[in-house]
A and B are shown apart, each in its own frame.
Chain A
Amino acid sequence: MWLTFEGTLPEPSADDSTCLLGTLPELTSAKFEPVGRWYEAYCVRRLRKHTLSAGSLESSSDEESEDEGIEFDEENETYLRTLDPKEWKQQDHYAVLGISKMRCDATDDQIKAAYKRKVLDHHPDKRRARGIPVKEGEKDYFTCITRAYETLGNPTKRRSYDSVDSHFDDSIPPNNADSKERFFDVFGPVFARNARWSTSKKKVPLLGDENTAFADVNHFYSFWYDFESWREYSYLDEEEKEKGENREERRWIERQNKSDRQKRKKEETSRIRQLVDNAYACDMRIQRFKDEEKAKKQAIKQAKKDAIRAKQEEEERKRQAILDEERAKKEKEEAEAKELAAAAKKEKEALKKELKKERKTLRTTVKEYDYFSSDETERLSNMEEVDKLAEMLSITSLQDLNKDLTSGDLDRAKSAFNKEVDALKDRLQKEKQAHIEASQRSAKSSSSEGSKGKGTWSEDEIQMLIKGVNVFPAGTISRWEVINNFIQQHVPSSKRNAKEVLAKAKDLQKNDQFLKADANRKAFDKFAKDTKGGATAKPEKGEISERYDSAGAVQMAETGSNPSPWSADEQKLLEQALKTFPASVKDRWDKISDSIPLRSKKDCMKRYKELVEMVRAKKAAQTAAKK
């Protein structure tokens, strides 16, 4: 942009010449708003580090800079003269334009500049003006320059020319020992050279060196195995499509060319493939990576194994420690227990000895007193009593008794003896009474268990309940209500609700099947009684209920043994009886069975044997566990 000033420039005086008269003041700085096209231009300049002013001034400076950076060949007119314009396809276009050193690296601008230069020097008109002879029209070598620019100036044509540029080294290093040894020197430049055919917009990965990371090497090979080349061979087409005289011929030419191109393209692909294959085969990094990978895996495996083993060992150690501790504890406990047991045994033995002594004293003293009687039978009974006393009395009372007996005073001894005997009898009696009472109570309570709540269930009610339960099976809608209604219908005196009915039914089911059988049987009795019109009604209700208060009793009466399991009360009675009647007592089992209602002698013996068996088994198990 040229600005014009109006006015005139002053005339210099004769001796004036271009000179400096002073200096400019230094720059200052000011804030400028980021607005407007001049600011934008300034920014762009600053970004590109241009020093020139912006915009419209650039065109002139462009031309100056164009020639920079071009390595022109030396002017070689003789070479150009030798060119045959007819054979332009075979010529080296880059050489013709004088940029054979740059070849494919030349930019479009540089090609243009080179062409301009050639035109300036070799245009027929220019040469004519210089008096150099020029051939006519197409025959002149200048045609070659135009052709060269036509080819290189057009991106498509340039591409096809570059694809088949004879200066490109298509060779592939072989897969041999030398390649392996100098792998990077041999293959590096080859890949670098071939990289320019890549269609990929991204940067083509290069071979790298020994220290290249595994990922990069991997990427390199995967890229090169999938390498897509833009090389195309249209420049080598045998015949020009336009040469065909008619459509058929043109088509035929086209087909021919196409198949040729495809063939070449295939060759190119296989060439690249071969190159990569060779490289892969020679690449020692691959082997190294494989080894490393293997080693790594091995290391990981080993580490895992070690970790597991360490853990196991640790666990083992812990367990051992715990076991040791336990064992020590146990040993200590055992020792203590043994000691204690020994002490207890000792004591017990001493006690026993004492007892024995006391008993002996008792017997001898009583014997000395001639059993306080002269009567044979009394003496006999007294002898029995002495035995009993000796067995039953505790050591202290025995000692007291012996003291009294050995005092020498017969009356006193006798009275003491009788007192003891009475006391013992009394005690035994009491115990027996208590047991019988307890057993009766328990029997009673078991029979009256079901009727806890508001009141006891009458026979009729129970019968009706059983009947009702049978009539209305499970699944009936509000079954227990219905059954309750049923009962109330038949037994008007019954004032129960469904809940109670349910509880009773459950009780019946669970508690005693005999009760049920009993009820059923009674139902039959009732039926019989009802059918007989009450004529045979028996007045002794109590007797019936006493006799048949338990199914066990019936069983006992019928078979002589009661198969029902032993209840806790019966068990208690049995134990008591066993204590009361020691093994020395005659007819021991008869007496025992007498003390237990509803159990025969056989039952008791059987039970005793079972118990002995159980205790023995228990002891065996305990000793086994201790070991």
Chain B
Amino acid sequence: MATHGSSLGCGVWVIDGKTEVVANEGGDRMTPAIVAYTDHDKVVGLPAKQGLYRNASNTICNVKELIGREADSEVVQNAMQNSNVKIICQGAKPFYEVDYKERTHKVSPVSVAAAIFDSLKDTADGQQRVDSHNAVICVPVSFSEQQQRDLVQAAQQASFSVLRVIREPCAALMAYGVEEECVGQTRALVLRLGGRSMTVTIVRVTGGMFHIEKDAVFEMGGNELDELLVQHLAQDYDRQWRCQCLKNQRSAFKLRVAAQQTRQVLSSMATAHCSVESLYDGIDLNTKLSRTRVEALVNPFVQKCLKAVEEVIGSAGSQLTDIEKVVVCGGVGRSPFFIQAVKDRFPSAQILSSLAGDEVIALGAAKQATLLTENNAPSAVSVEADTLPCLQTNILLRMTEDGQQEHRMLFAAFTPMPARRQYRMLLAPEQTDACLVLCTATAPNDTPEPVAKLVLHSLPPGSQVEMVCHCRSDGSLHVTCAEPTSNTSTGLTIEANKLSSS
């Protein structure tokens, strides 16, 4: 039950019915998704990252970008120009060319991903509490089928048995249990700010099922933030010592690592100490950074992000107020200033950010995995969204509260069919007759159109009415109302309009 982003991988395991993030040998809960090939070994994770500068031409980062891509796609062509590792194309597939064990090897992205999966698995196996290797793999919404297939293949190479592939935003929502509530309709925004990219996804949750309305990926991420920090630190250093440390590649790299660490520390602390030994010319860097200072520094970036989010919402034909829930996740998304900025932007929405930002998706996957293993559900590896029949309009029940006529949602629009709901309504004291009026409405603000009326006469006072609504897969709605103590009941079936179909 694992996920891995473009820069970090995280394995969440279901152990004894509880989801746990298993920390790796280094004690980190996250493993950098970096694979380095050296003369004698293949290293994954932090050690690979540490050797990134020394062994740049044999250290593969960001394999997620290349996996399942065609050689002539734009992404691959870009990567070929920018990557430190030599990328060659053979057939229609890109391959990394690395020196491994003193020979030149061609490594496919799949086997690199498999190595990362393998290290996640080894980490868990080290705990000796994991007995099965069932996995749910999370992929970004933008992943094509081929990319998914390759990722699954990689997981299978690492001897995971893949139960299902799910979309990252859905996993994030599941981690917060958004789907548990099955009545009504919720529109949720999943904001994932990772190391390299930002994904904005608008998900409609109806009847406990997710429908992805809009998904957008932006090329802005934590690295950009780090760059701002690096620039700041470099200026500081320059002012102090009069040396352009960024001109030296080695120094720049060191500074970037330090900046990254500082940023992570600042996620939880108010101030952070940033120090690099012998950054340039034997002079150490030693500064203190306060969160306020950094926030001021990165504010333009955050504003840029939020603007992009607004644009996405706008293009989906919604307003900011339509969003009821916002999930902030991703490695950078955990930063308090970012969460605060989101909160400010979505005052009416519920901001879900209690879980560690970079683990959220993996936790959701773990939840899904538990569900699948418990149900023994047929594992459909394909991620393809299922097309299900669903209601076109909301079905409402007319009620009065404080003398005002109101409507309660029975079935929200886009509730998948068939569905069944049971409601229980208390009658007002002294009320002996009840009239249940069912209405339909396309939008919440429309005036509901009544479609059926159920009347119960001479009920005993203080009784309650039970209503069972059963929406069949042909679109008709069967409603029965009963008062259990007096055995009075009434029912009818509302047919779906078939004429309009032709």
- What residues of chain A have their CB less than 8 Å away from a CB belonging to chain B? 1-12, 16-40, 42-45, 47, 51-53, 57
Contact = CB atoms under 8 A, between A and B. Distances in A.
B69 interface: no
A29 B475 CA distance: 11
A38 B384 CA distance: 17
B212 A33 contact: yes
Nearest to B457: A12
A19 to B, nearest CB: 6
B496 A23 contact: yes
A32 B388 contact: yes
B495 interface: yes
Contacts of A27: 389-392, 417, 474-475, 496
Given A24-B391, A24-B476, 16 more contacts: A3-B183, A3-B422, A11-B434, A18-B455, A19-B453, A23-B494, A24-B440, A27-B389, A28-B389, A29-B390, A30-B387, A32-B210, A33-B386, A34-B383, A35-B368, A44-B377
Nearest to A8: B428
A24 B496 contact: yes
Interface stretch (B58-66, B80-88, B153-161, B399-407): B399-407
A16 B388 CA distance: 37
18 contacts: A2-B424, A5-B397, A7-B400, A9-B399, A9-B425, A12-B433, A18-B454, A18-B491, A22-B440, A25-B392, A31-B212, A31-B385, A32-B211, A33-B167, A34-B384, A35-B167, A35-B209, A42-B209
Nearest to A47: B378
A53 B419 CA distance: 5
B214 interface: no
B171 interface: yes
Contact of B208 (A31, A36, A57): A36
Nearest to A45: B418
A20 B473 contact: no
Contact of A25 (B372, B419, B465, B500): B500
A34 B451 contact: no
Contact of B497 (A2, A24, A30): A24
Given A1-B422, A9-B425, A26 B500 contact: yes
Interface in B462-480: 465-466, 470, 472-477
Contacts of B207: 38
Contacts of B212: 31, 33
Interface string B339-383: 000000000000000000000000000001001100101101001
Nearest to B494: A24
Given A8-B427, A38-B207, A53 B399 contact: no
Complex A-B, nearest 5 residue pairs according to Cβ-Cβ distance, in ascending order: A53-B420, A38-B208, A12-B435, A31-B385, A7-B401
Given A2-B423, A5-B399, A10-B400, A26 B368 contact: no
B186 to A, nearest CB: 13
A45 B211 CA distance: 20
A34 B455 contact: no
Contact of A7 (B395, B408, B424, B440): B408
A39 B496 contact: no
Contacts of B423: 2-5
A26 B434 contact: no
Contacts of B497: 23-26
A114 to B, nearest CB: 27
Nearest to B497: A23
Interface of B: 164, 166-167, 170-171, 174, 179-180, 182-183, 207-212, 368, 371-372, 375, 377-378, 380, 383-393, 395, 397-401, 405-406, 408, 414, 416-428, 431, 433-437, 440, 449-455, 457, 465-466, 470, 472-477, 490-492, 494-498, 500-501
A5 B174 CA distance: 26
A177 B93 CA distance: 75
A55 to B, nearest CB: 9
B341 to A, nearest CB: 28
Contacts of A33: 166-167, 170, 209-212, 385-386
Given A3-B421, A33-B210, A11 B440 contact: no
B140 to A, nearest CB: 13
Contacts of B164: 34
A35 B165 CA distance: 9
Contact of B490 (A18, A34, A40, A42): A18
Contacts of B406: 7
A9 B436 CA distance: 7
B389 A29 contact: yes
Given A4-B426, A42-B416, A30 B388 contact: yes
B390 A23 contact: no
A36 B210 contact: yes
Given A8-B400, A35-B368, A53 B385 contact: no
B301 to A, nearest CB: 30
Contacts of A44: 375, 377
Residue picked from B209, B401, B450, B455, most chain A C-beta under 10 Å: B209
A40 B494 contact: no
B109 to A, nearest CB: 25
B492 A28 contact: no
A34 B166 contact: yes
A24 B375 contact: no
B179 A35 contact: yes
Residue picked from A1, A5, A44, A52, most chain B C-beta under 10 Å: A5
Contacts of B420: 52-53, 57
A31 B387 contact: yes
A22 B452 contact: yes
Contacts of A3: 183, 421-424
B392 A22 contact: no
Contacts of B408: 5, 7
A8 to B, nearest CB: 4
A18 B453 contact: yes
Nearest to A38: B208
A50 to B, nearest CB: 9
Given A11-B433, A24-B395, A25-B497, A30 B400 contact: no
Contact of B414 (A5, A16, A19, A30): A30
A30 B174 contact: no
Nearest to B209: A32
Contacts of A7: 399-401, 406, 408
A344 B377 CA distance: 108
Given A8-B427, A33-B211, A17 B393 contact: no
B449 A22 contact: yes
Nearest to B402: A7
Residue picked from A5, A35, A40, most chain B C-beta under 10 Å: A35
B485 to A, nearest CB: 16
A16 B455 contact: yes
B475 A8 contact: no
